[in-house]
Amino acid sequence: MKILLKSSTMALALVAGALVAPSAALAQTLTVDVDAIYKDSLAGKSGNAQLETKYGARLKASQEKLQTAANAWNTQLEAAKKIVKPDGSVPPATETALNQARDTLSAAQNEFNALRQEIQQTDQYVKYQILEKLIPVAEKIRKDRKGDTVVPRGSVLAFDPVNDITPTALQQVNATITTVSITPPQPNAAPAPATTPAKPAATPSTR
């Protein structure tokens, strides 16, 4: 009797496993190459072209200015090393030149860093606008294909190309957005202070 019960239990387990297996097999993780969407989409190309137009020349000029300042500083430093005194001091004129070169280099570095940060923030805003459209597109494709999840392709070690939805997502994103803005919205300006209405002029009395 015990053996019979045990066999019946195993049979039930196998049946349950057979019922669960197809559902598990249907679940699939879809992947999308988000970086490719940023780069190859019409909106991404629009953003890159605008960024190049606005910042390309400025960034090149800032890099050249920084390099010139670095060269000038190195030149002054090498010259100072040749005339440094045993106590480590240098002539006043040399010290002044070193300070000026250091200040120029520091200003050029700060200017370059500020410009680079502005470009990075603008680029992030461009990507945000594209991602805002990609998310609902990816969700629709997931539902259509009865997928379990959609993950960025760069976050997985291996994937089945059959489950990569990048071409379909790219096509649908292009149908949704073709251009982007490179002007991030500014915080709301503080409301203008209330003004006290002017008192009406006194009406002269008539006698």
148 touches 27 (CB < 8 A): yes
Low-confidence ranges of the chain (pLDDT < 70): 1-27, 188-207
pLDDT in tens, 80-124: 999 988 888 889 999 999 999 999 999 999 999 999 999 999 999
Sign of the alpha-carbon torsion through 173, 177, 178, 183: negative
Nearest to 172 by CA among 142, 128, 203: 142
47 touches 126 (CB < 8 A): yes
pLDDT of the residue at 9: 39
pLDDT of the residue at 114: 98
pLDDT of the residue at 193: 52
CA gyration radius, the chain: 34
pLDDT of the residue at 46: 97
pLDDT of the residue at 27: 66
Give the DSSP letter string of the chain: -HHHHHHHHHHHHHHHHHHHHHHHHH--EEEE-HHHHHHHSHHHHHHHHHHHHHHHHHHHHHHHHHHHHHHHHHHHHHHHHHH--TTS---HHHHHHHHHHHHHHHHHHHHHHHHHHHHHHHHHHHHHHHHHHHHHHHHHHHHHTT-SEEEEGGG-S---GGGB-HHHHHHHHHHH-----SSPPPPPPPPPPP-PPPPPPPPPP--
